[in-house]
Amino acid sequence: MTPKSTHHHDPAVDSPAGGGRAGRREWIALGVLMLPLLLVSMDVSVLYFAIPAISADLEPSGTQQLWIFDIYGFVLAGLLMTMGALGDRFGRRRLLLAGAAAFGAASVVAAYADSAGMLIAARAVLGLGGATLMPSTMALLRTMFTDPGQRAKAIGLWSGVMTGGIALGSVLSGVLVQYFWWGSVFLVNLPAMALLLVLGPLLLPESRSSRPGRFDLLGVPLSLAAVLPVVYGLKEIPTEGWNVRYVMSVTVGLLFAALFVHRQRRAASPLVPPALLRARGFSPALLLNLIASFAMLGSAYFTTQYLQSVLGRSALEAALWSLLPSVLIGAAAPATTSLVQRGVARAHVVTGGFVVAAAGYGLLALAGTRSLWLVLAGAGVLASGIVTVMSQVTDLAMGAAPVERAGTASSLMETSTELGGALGMALLGAIGTAVYRHGMGPGSPEAARQTLGGALAVADGMPEAAGAALRAAARGAFVDGMRGAALAGVVPLLAAAVLAVRLVRIAPRPANGDTGDGAVERETGTAGEDAAAAVPEAPAVAGDVAAAGGTA
């Protein structure tokens, strides 16, 4: 980039019409943005191997232990839309740095928590910080990379880091708990957050809407009431079954979702502008992203249990084995971006990604009780197909959204990811559980009929021959359940492959110098005004240093 575009961010460069190319500064800034994204995604799984040590030290009740796990994801999912709208109004860099400070402070509190309640509260603040970090990183990426080709590469890296962070979190927690105390899984966040707070004001541009309107205060509780009950109910159904309490929770959430939509249509300055959802390509991207998340999290429910409870690997061994599919994940997003830039139609790439993911489920459907490599291959093929889809539909959504609404657009994509994942775990988990219980038969002990873990625990207290028979039966029934869920997972993926041919074709395909905002302009008649208003504010480096204390 020229010195002018690097330090002053000329409107001609940063506006969609300008099509300016990012330089070294922006790519270094992207590396800084990867830090919070990696940590937020790691925190989804970082407690997997730390919870036994936490339980021994803090002695939480069963309910408290569940909340230690779940509160982070609940708060994160519930606040994404609110935080995306706040970033658009008050500044995405400002919100990112505030979230990083909150995330770091909460990490210290969590590490040294001396009670279960204190740890739950710290995890809730971590979720709040994560809700600020995820949409802010994508919105800033959208601001910095206005060239379609460069933006596609950046989003591919973003997708790979987010997916890889979840796998890395579980492994890191196993290693840290083995050599240190459980609080170390939280303290590992501090160096990265400190680096972000130092480098963020120097490298990241500030951007916000210049015509935000009044903040929709009523929309905030409505969005929370819509998202949280749905996520809660869907997360509990796989383990507790179709309990009326969880079904009612989902129902209540859907009713509040209807009220939220009604409010957004009538509010003068809604959290989620209806015009954004009408932008060509944006709503199809949300739908396809939800289906991809459905498949990804639905498979994780089975593969982690397969490695530990069916194959009998230790928790750390299972985590290390689960890193192997990440090799395919790391190659998928860059290869996908290269295909699109070489002229392969995005619709074909997305369709192919769904077909590849369906093939991954097909491999899982062939697994037996001793199929380590087949399960790892299936998980890797599935994940690579999903990352292919997610990188493209994310680029499609962010290209269709004007820079003015980048935070809101990013938060909606993240919310669809959370809802899709919860839905996948609920439906595929319920299918697998039903097949498992049918396979165990009415003559099995009640605890053994409920879960594979319960069956293994019962078998440990039985005579050797009877225990071995129960273990074999339970493992076989679990694998049958995994096969049934895998076959069920193929159906929405193939349906999405067919949908993608139609839905992605009607979306605008970015050309050089067109970031997709023109689609919003044609659809709503407002994008021209938005683009003119969304001129990022990025003072020179000296000015950033002077303002760093107040911003951070």
For residue range 303-326, what is the model confidence (pLDDT) as tens digits?
A: 877 887 888 877 677 777 877 877
Residue 411: is it exposed, middle or buried by C-beta count within 10 angstroms (0-12/13-18/19+)? buried
Residue 206 pairs in a beta bridge with 537
Under a CB-based contact definition with an 8 Å cutoff, are residues 520 and 195 in contact? no
DSSP 3-state percent helix, strand, coil across the chain (nearest 5):
80, 0, 20
What separation in angstroms does the CA of 353 have from each of 92, 115, 216? Answer: 31, 45, 38
Q: In this structure, what token pair is assigned to residue 503?
A: 């839905």
| Predicted local distance difference test score (pLDDT) of residue 116 | 83
Under a CB-based contact definition with an 8 Å cutoff, are residues 401 and 138 in contact? no
| Predicted local distance difference test score (pLDDT) of residue 363 | 93
Which one-letter DSSP state was computed for residue 306? I
Residue 537 pairs in a beta bridge with 206
What separation in angstroms does the CA of 371 have from each of 42, 310, 359, 382, 530? Answer: 27, 10, 16, 16, 54
Using CA atoms, how far apart are residues 531 and 172, in angstroms rounded to an integer?
42
Using CA atoms, how far apart are residues 37 and 135, in angstroms rounded to an integer?
10
Q: What confidence tens digit (pLDDT) does each residue in 392-422 have?
A: 888 788 777 776 777 777 778 888 887 787 7
**Sheet strands (E) in 414-463:** none
Using CA atoms, how far apart are residues 111 and 109, in angstroms rounded to an integer?
6
Q: Interhelix angle for 406-440 vs 62-90, to 10°? A: 160
With the CA atoms of 21, 25, 26 and 32 taken in that order, what torsion angle do they form, in degrees rounded to the nearest 10? 170
Under a CB-based contact definition with an 8 Å cutoff, are residues 430 and 234 in contact? no
Q: Which residues lie closer than 8 Å to 385 by C-beta, 6 or more apart?
A: 332, 352, 353, 354, 355, 356, 357, 358, 359, 360, 493
Angle at 136 between CA 91 and CA 333, to 5 degrees: 150
DSSP element (H, E) containing 65: helix 62-90
Neighbour tally for 495: CB within 10 Å = 13
* Intervals of the chain under pLDDT 70: 1-20, 22, 41, 43-46, 48-49, 51, 62-63, 65-66, 163-167, 169-170, 207-216, 219, 237-242, 315, 330, 333, 403, 505-552
Three-state SS at 537: strand
pTM equals 0.74
Using CA atoms, how far apart are residues 493 and 366, in angstroms rounded to an integer?
18
Q: In this structure, what token pair is assigned to residue 267?
A: 């509010």
Using CA atoms, how far apart are residues 407 and 89, in angstroms rounded to an integer?
9
